[in-house]
Structure 1
Amino acid sequence: MPEPFVLAPRHTASGGLPVAAAPTLDPAFGALAEFIGDERVTDLFVNGTDGLFLDRGDGAERMPQWRASEREVRDLAVALVAAGGRHLDDQSPCVDVRLDSGIRVHAVLAPVSTSGTALSIRVPRVHAADLDALAALGSFAPGQRAWLESLVGERANVLITGGTGTGKTTLLTALLSAVPVGERIVTIEDVAELRPRHPHHVSLEARQPNLEGAGRITLAMLVRESLRMRPDRLIVGECRGEEVRELLTALNTGHDGGAGTLHASGLADVPARMEALGALAGMDATALARQVVSAFTVVLHLGREPDGTRRIRQAGRFLLVADRLGIEEVRPW
C-alpha cells in the first residue's frame, strides 16, 4: 500500500478566510491514493474486478495497470464508507458518504451491482472554489460574471440545474463564497459537499438509519430544523424528494437569497422534474407551480463541453402556463 497522499496545506487569503482546507488523505484509500494525487482527476470508478477508470476531464479512461479481486474491492469500499462514519454491508448495500477531505464516495455491493462491488469517487478540486477561479476556467463570460455577482448582492433565490458532473455544486459553492461576510449561511445536503469560503457557514447533513433501523434524519427534517437557526441564506444542496415542499415554503416566507440544485437534462425539462418532486411531497401541479414561480428568481442550467469545461448554457425564469409550471429562457447578461 503506498504512503497516504497529502493535499496542499491550508492557505489564507488577504481577507483572512481559508482558501483551501486540505486534510491528509485517509489511509483507507490504499492503492487509490496515487491516482487521487493527480490534480487532473475529478472522478474515479472501480467496477468490481473489471478495472479502474479515471476521468481527467476527457471522459473515463481505463487504467490497465490496476488489478484487484472482488474481495479486495469490497474491503476497500467498506473501509472508505467506514472512514466517513457510515456502514456498508449486506443490509445496507448502497451508501453515499463524504470524507473529511471533502471527497465523496458512493459504493454498491454485489449482488446489487451484478459485476461486483462498484465504487464511484468524486474528488473536489480546490482551484475552482470561487467566481474568480471559475472565470479563469472559462465557466462563464465576463458579462455573466457581473450578473452572477448581482444575483448574490440582490439576494435572488437561485435554482442551479444540470446533469451529473456539470458543476452544479462547484458553481453554488462559488456563489456562496461571494455572500457578504456578515450573513449566516446554512446548507442542507444528503452528503455534505458545499464548502464555501465564508466565515459563517453551518453545514447540516442527512443521516442514514443505524443497524436497528432507527435514527434516520431526512433532508425534509433538516430543512424544518434550519428555519429555527435564523439563516440569512438557506441552501439545499440537491432537491430530490419531499424536502422540496419545505424549501419552497421557506423561500416564500421571507428567506431570500436561498438556493438549491436539481438534476435535469435541459432547461425545458426542469418544470417536469419539479412536478415529479412535488408529487413525492404530496403537492398537486397547480399548488407546486404557484409556489415555484413565487420562490425562485432564476434558473441556471449548466452543461459539460466535450473538452471537459463546465459552462452556464442557459438561464431561465419560471412562469405559470394555464396553472401549470412552465419556463422561459432569458439572457440577462
Structure 2
Amino acid sequence: MSKPTPESELRTRLGKIGRPTRLQREKSQPDRLVQPKPNEADTSSRRGRAVTVKGRLHGQLLDDLDRRGLLSADVDQLQGEVDAFVAEVAATEQLPLNDAERSRLSADLLEETLGLGPLASLMADPSVTDILVNGPHHVYVERYGNLELTSVEFRDADHLTRIIQRIASRVGRRIDESVPMVDARLPDGSRVNATLPPVTLDGPTLSIRRFGKRRLRRGELHRLGMFSDSMEEFFSVVVRSRLNILVSGGTGSGKSTFLGAICESIPDSERIVTIEDAAELVLDQLHVVRMETRPPNVEGTGTIAARDLVVNALRMRPDRIIVGEVRAGECLDMLQAMNTGHDGSLTTAHANSPRDAISRLSTMVLMSGMELPASAIREQIVSAIDLIIHVRRFEDGIRRVESVDELVGLEGNTPQLQQIFRFEVTGRKGKRLQGKHVATGTVPRLVEKLRARSIDVPTSWFEKETGPTR
C-alpha cells in the first residue's frame, strides 16, 4: 500500500471536521484493535467534504479580506493575512493540522485568492497545451494532440466566474452580464477567452491556449515530421533570401510555432519589428523590436490596433516586419509594406487551404475601409506574397506542413498557385497516420529570382522523388 501524501492526509483530516479524531475513537473503543479500511464510497465522501470545507474557508477568507479592504493588497501582505486566518480557524475549530498541513492549506487558499484555483496544477503541467472549461464540472485538456477529460472541478458556477473575473481584472478588462465575453493574456503569455451567461447557456466557459516555456526549433519540428529534409533546406533559403511568406492554417495547427522556427534563418544583421495580439514569438536575433496590440480598458478606451502598429513600424526603419497574424484592416498595410521595399516580411492567417488564404486576405483588405476594386486587391496580393505555406493538425493530432505553394500571377482575375511540396497520406499505423512529404516535380519560378541574386538553389530539392514515410 502506498504511503499517503501530505495532501491526501490533509483532505482526510479536513473531511473529519466536527467529528472525533481517529485516536479519540480508538480510545473510546479499546476492544477494537484493528479499524476497518475505508471503502471507495467513504473515501469519495471524505474528499467531497474536504472540498466543501475548503470552499467554506475560502468564502470566509474572501469576506474578511473584502470587509477590511485587502483584496487588492500585494502578495506578501496577502500571504501574511492568509497564514493568520488559517492559524485562527485551526485554533477556533480545533482542526488537527500540523505545521506542514497548515502551510499546505494556506498555499491552497492563497492560490484560490490570487491565482487560477483548481487550474493551477494543469497550468504547471508542461504537457498541457490547451485547457477547455465547459462549466464548473467539465475541464478538458489537450496533451500531445489529444483531448481528454480531467478530474479537475470547480465548486460551482460562481467559483468559476470568480476565477474568470480575476483573470480579466488583472489585465484591466471587465466581464459580467453586461459584457459577457473577454479575451486576455496571462503573465506567462497564455491566451485566454472566457464567456458568461447569457452568451453561453449552460454556464461560464474558459479556454486557455498555453505556450511552452521553451520554443520548438526548426530542427526539432523536422524530427517530429512536420516537414522533410529538402523542405527544411528550402525554408532556410527562402527566408534568408527575403521572400515574402504567408503561413496559413486552422486554429491550433501550429502556425505560430512554425513561423518562429523558420525565423531562425533571418540574419543577425537585420532589424526586425514584430507585431502581435499576444506576444508569442521568441526570436534569437538581438536587433528585435517587439510590439503588442492593446484591447480597450474597462472604460472602453485606449485601444491600440494591429493596423496602428503596422503603420508605426514602417517609420522605424525595419529590415523585416513580422505580423503574428493578420485578422482585419492591417492586412492592407502589410501588403503595401511588402510591395514598397520591405522584402522578407512574414505573417500568418487563419485559412483552410492556400486558396482560402487568398480569399481571406481579400476580405481583410476590404475591412480596412478602403474602397478598392476586387481586381486591384488581387493584384496587390499576387505582387506582394511569394509563398503560401499551409500547416494543418491532422486527424492523429500531429501538426505537419500540408503544402507549399508559389503565387505565380493572375490568369484573368484569378490568382494562380503552383504547388512545390505536399504531404501525402499513405495509410495508418494504429492511431498515427502514415505518409510522406513529396516534391511535386515542379521547379518554382522563384528559383530564377534567387539565382539572379547569386543564391544557389539545387533543383534536386524539387525532383519528384518521395521522401521517407513519417
Shorter-chain TM band: 0.7 to 0.9
Q: Which has the larger radius of gyration?
A: 2
Report if aligned partners of 1:96, 1:191 keep a CA contact under 8 Å in 2: no
C-alpha deviation, 1:126, in angstroms = 4.1
Q: Which amino acid aligns with 1:325?
A: P
Identify which of 291, 302, 305 aligns with 2:391. 302
Q: Which residue of 2 aligns with 1:11?
A: none
User: 1:129·1:196 contact (CA, 8 Å) conserved in 2?
Assistant: no
Q: Show the 5 A alignment for 1:98-247.
A: 98-247=185-334
Question: In structure 2, do the counterparts of structure 1 residues 326 and 109 end up closer, same or farther at CA, with 3 Å as the change threshold?
Answer: farther
Q: Which moved more, 1:111-120 or 1:57-66?
A: 57-66
Give 1:68-107 correspondences, 5 Å limit: 68-107=155-194
- Say which of 411, 418, 422 aligns to 1:321: 411
Q: Matched residues in 1 for 2:160 and 2:279: separation?
A: 24
Deviation larger for 284-293 or 189-198: 189-198
Aligned-pair CA distance for 1:165: 0.6
TM-score, length of structure 2 as denominator length = 0.62
Match of 2:400 in 1: 311
Partner SS for 1:320: strand
| C-alpha displacement of 1:134 | 1.4
CA contact (8 A) 1:49 1:68 kept: yes
SS at match of 2:259: helix
Identity %: 37
CA contact (8 A) 1:271 1:326 kept: no
Q: Which amino acid aligns with 1:287?
A: A
- Of the three residues 55, 58, 79, the one matched with 2:142 is 55
Q: Comparing 319-328 with 113-122, which one deviates more in the overlay?
A: 319-328
- Which protein is richer in helix relative to its size? 2
Runs of 4+ off more than 4 Å: none
- Residues 191-216 of structure 1 show CA distances to partners (whole Å, capped at 9, x for unaligned) of 22222233222221111222332221
Q: Are the structure 2 counterparts of residues 60 and 234 from structure 1 closer, same or farther at C-alpha, using a change threshold of 3 Å?
A: same
Q: Offset at 1:51?
A: 1.0
Q: Distance in 2 between matches of 1:189 and 1:92?
A: 24
1:153 touches 1:179 (CA, 8 Å); kept in 2? yes
Q: Aligned equivalents of 1:68 and 1:205: distance in 2? A: 35
- Superposition TM-score, scaled by structure 1 size: 0.86
In 1, the alpha carbon distance for the partners of 2:162 and 2:417 equals: 47
SS, match of residue 61 in structure 1: strand
Alpha-carbon distance in structure 2 between the residues aligned to 1:254 and 1:130: 29
Question: How large is the RMSD of aligned CA atoms in angstroms?
Answer: 2.2
In 1, the alpha carbon distance for the partners of 2:128 and 2:315 equals: 39
CA separation in 1, counterparts of 2:203 and 2:416?
Answer: 42
1:286–1:190: structure 2 CA closer, same or farther, 3 Å change rule?
same
Q: Provide the residue aligned with 1:32 in structure 2.
A: 119
Correspondence 1:272-311 to 2 at 5 A: 272-281=359-368, 282=370, 283-311=372-400
Q: Secondary structure of 2:136's match?
A: helix
Corresponding letter in the other structure for 1:143: S
**Contact 1:57 1:307 (C-alpha < 8 Å) held by counterparts:** no
One-letter amino acid of the structure 2 residue matched with residue 278 of structure 1: V
CA contact (8 A) 2:172 2:297 kept: no
Shift in Å, 1:128:
4.0
How far apart in 2 are the matches of 1:204 and 1:145? 28
The structure-2 alpha-carbon separation of the partners of 1:308 and 1:208, relative to structure 1 and needing over 3 Å to count, comes to same
Moved more, 81-90 or 240-249: 81-90
More displaced stretch, 63-72 vs 38-47: 63-72
Contact 2:135/2:202, CA 8 A, preserved across alignment: yes
Q: Which has the higher contact order (CA 8 A, sep 6+)?
A: 1
* Higher mean C-alpha displacement, 43-52 vs 257-266: 43-52
Residues in 1 aligned to 2:156 and 2:115: alpha-carbon distance in whole angstroms: 17
